[in-house]
Amino acid sequence: MPDILHRTGIKSPSPNEAYKALATIEGLSGWWTDDTQGDSKVGGVITFRFGSQSSFDMKVLELEPGKRVLWQVLDGPAEWIGTKVGFDLEQDGDWTIVLFKHQGWKAPTESMHHCSTKWAVFMLSLKALVETGTGRPYPNDVRIDNWR
């Protein structure tokens, strides 16, 4: 099954700031969508809303401070349901490396192509948030195509 993979490096002396941006509602609101709510603890459900365009409900499967965040999609587009979205952090000198994986896609659809590019844009938004204090979450995200 095809996966979406990305690698981003964040200039940061420790992985703590990136972890906070991935493991708290406030952090997630700063780079993915400003309409992020819910319970970010293990077993909790986080709801991500993008106006009337799209929405995702994620169950938090794993949290390892400074190391790893893993979600499973409970609700959203049919193709997304049941897939897993994970972020693994590694510190390399003064860089926090984020290895992103969205796994469990059943087919390499056109929508999957779109999501791959869009995840890259949001990973750079995460990088900007941690490095500068300002990300580009929806509705200020970078438009990539006619689907947005």
Binding site for its own copies (CB under 8 A): 2-9, 92-93, 95, 97, 99-101, 108, 110, 112-114, 116-117, 120-121, 123-124, 127, 142, 144-147
Residue number with CB closer to its own copies (40 or 138) = 138
Residue number with CB closer to its own copies (93 or 133) = 93
Exposure letters 9-45 (e unless 16+ CB within 10 A, then b): ebebeebebbbbbbbeeebbbbbbbbebebebeeeee
HEC readout, 117-143: HHHHHHHHHHHHHHHHCCCCCECCCCC
CB 102 within 8 A of CB 85: yes
Provide, rounded to whole angstroms, the least separation between the CB of residue 109 and its own copies.
9
Provide, rounded to whole angstroms, the least separation between the CB of residue 72 and its own copies.
19
Provide, rounded to whole angstroms, the least separation between the CB of residue 73 and its own copies.
18
Residue number with CB closer to its own copies (2 or 38) = 2
